[in-house]
Structure 1
Amino acid sequence: MWSAETAVPACSPPSSLASTAATFRGTPRAGPLRDVLTAFARAKDVRRLPSPRAWCGGAHWPNLVRHTLAPRLPRECRAVAEAVVDAVLQAEASADTVHLVHGDFGPHNVLWHADQVVGVLDLDHACAGDPAIDAASLISFFGAAQVAPIVDRAILERAMIHRASLTIQLAAAAELLADTGLRDHALTNFVTRHQAGTLHDPGGWQPHLDRM
């Protein structure tokens, strides 16, 4: 049984369990996913966890984007990247709660038995932060329209802002690891999403809180 306090499987799952990646086909299982997010919100002593984005620079991430990554983008995308960073910081400042955040919450990191979540995997990016960060990951998989029923509107708005930053977070992590191939791939994805109008949501939804 999944443990809400530790956010990891309480025992090793049997080999017959399929990951969400194998059982999801474009639609989130709303009830169980909502239950996991609720359990994250109830976790205690989360302020001992790292701050958001420790894996891609932490407090240095904004300057890493502005001074190192943005100059590598096409000229018309540089201001967009900087505005995304500013919007993320503003959205986090507006959040009224700090929760346990998985940091990479999606089909690839959830285990199911029938219709119940029995395991949450890979907490390398876990932090104390805005719960919208985890909703942002779900938006990447399922789209904002299908995530909307399992989070409140304010979280959904902030999640779309966070979602716009995911590729430049990956680019920052790659830069810190000197992985130029991954960095450039992530930056190309940022440009592609911007040009397609899908930075905030694969379906094209835009956050009302966005001021870019």
Structure 2
Amino acid sequence: MPVAARSLPQKLRVLVTALWPQYDLSKAYLSEGTCHQVVVVPGVAAIRIAPETAGPELRRSVALHEHLAGLALPFEVPAPLGEVVAYEDRVAVAVTYVGGASRPQPDPGLSDLTPLRELLAAIAAVAVDDSLREHLAQPYGYAGGDPFAEEVDAYVLPRLGPGDAQVVERGLTELMSLPAADPPVLVHADLTGYNLFWNDEKLVGVLDWDFAFEGDHAYDVACLADGFGFRALASVVDDEVLARARVYRPMFAVEAATAAYRSGDTRSGDRILSRVRERIAAGTFHTPPADLRD
């Protein structure tokens, strides 16, 4: 998920010039993601860059994006333009440029929610066979995968006061009590506003499928809730899906904090937990920002 955009640092300019000398970087900029950096060459390509140690994960992601880009989805998926290559202590890959732009978050509101309904349906309709499954992540993969509850117990709960820990524990219990998806479907797992590209109110691209897994459709609904709100999504999905999404959504911040602490990024973990404490104190832990608007 891109979290910031800024001018291109010289070190990355040197890397891109060495590996892709044909690209004109005069208008290129850097988009900082959760797990990687992206050098965007407008109208031409996007170059994903990660530490050398993340090479296997980047190659898995490239194979996944290549598979998805080959499907007849009603939006663009960035497709790799070549193999993952190494440069000094980094690995990188160029992918196709996706036009359009993300919308403000929380979203000011679409006049017609049909694009969201079609987006969710298109993702859930993708056939998850062995050729796709081998490239998918685990649920909560970047926060520890299957033993997610144990990871939260180890990394997050000890850092919270008793009252806040009780709220998070209750949310975790509800999360772990959700029935398994039947049938499981493809889940993008990061359908935040930054990963959805639009031309006006037409959805034209969906980026960053790195965390995609096979599981519950309601997880993607929960991701959309931050930008659009559960009140709007109530007209997009049925009550049962919406109820499950309400369980997933407040735990996203806990998931992100767990991932940060596991990776040794204590500063980011502390910043995320500070927001969790603020939301609990304000009584908004379960309420997405879009639903806090008047």
> Is TM > 0.5 for Structure 1 vs Structure 2?
yes
What is the 5 A alignment of 1:8-157?
Answer: 8-9=77-78, 12-14=97-99, 17-21=100-104, 25-28=107-110, 29-45=112-128, 48=133, 49-91=136-178, 93=179, 95-157=181-243
Task: Select the structure that is richer in strand.
Answer: 2
Taking the aligned partners of 2:149 and 2:192, their CA distance within structure 1 comes to 25
Taking the aligned partners of 1:199 and 1:101, their CA distance within structure 2 comes to 24
- Helix, strand or coil at the partner of 1:119: strand
Paired residues of 1:132 and 1:155 also in contact (CA < 8 A): yes
* Structure 1 residue identity aligned to 2:109: T
Query: Which residue does 2:61 correspond to in 1?
Result: none
Taking the aligned partners of 2:155 and 2:242, their CA distance within structure 1 comes to 30
Taking the aligned partners of 2:129 and 2:242, their CA distance within structure 1 comes to 22
Taking the aligned partners of 2:227 and 2:254, their CA distance within structure 1 comes to 17
In the TM superposition, what is the alpha-carbon distance from 1:12 to its structure 2 partner? Answer: 3.7
Deviation track 1:84-143 (CA, whole Å, cap 9, x = no partner) reads 11111212x254331111111022111123432221001111111111111111111222
Query: Which residue does 1:207 correspond to in 2?
Result: none
Query: Which residue does 2:260 correspond to in 1?
Result: 174
Task: Select the structure that is richer in helix.
Answer: 1
* Structure 2 residue identity aligned to 1:59: D
In the TM superposition, what is the alpha-carbon distance from 1:64 to its structure 2 partner? Answer: 1.2
Q: Which has the higher contact order (CA 8 A, sep 6+)?
A: 1
Paired residues of 2:75 and 2:205 also in contact (CA < 8 A): no
Aligned pair count? 200
* Structure 2 residue identity aligned to 1:30: L
Taking the aligned partners of 2:269 and 2:113, their CA distance within structure 1 comes to 33
Q: TM-score, normalised by structure 2?
A: 0.62
Paired residues of 2:76 and 2:204 also in contact (CA < 8 A): no
* Structure 2 residue identity aligned to 1:51: Q
In the TM superposition, what is the alpha-carbon distance from 1:9 to its structure 2 partner? Answer: 4.8
Could you tell me which runs of 5 or more consecutive residues in structure 1 were left unpaired when the two chains were aligned: 205-212
Paired residues of 1:65 and 1:81 also in contact (CA < 8 A): no
The answer to which of 5-14 and 184-193 deviates more is 5-14
The structure that has the greater radius of gyration is 2
In the TM superposition, what is the alpha-carbon distance from 1:79 to its structure 2 partner? Answer: 2.0
Q: TM-score, normalised by structure 1?
A: 0.84
Taking the aligned partners of 2:211 and 2:129, their CA distance within structure 1 comes to 13
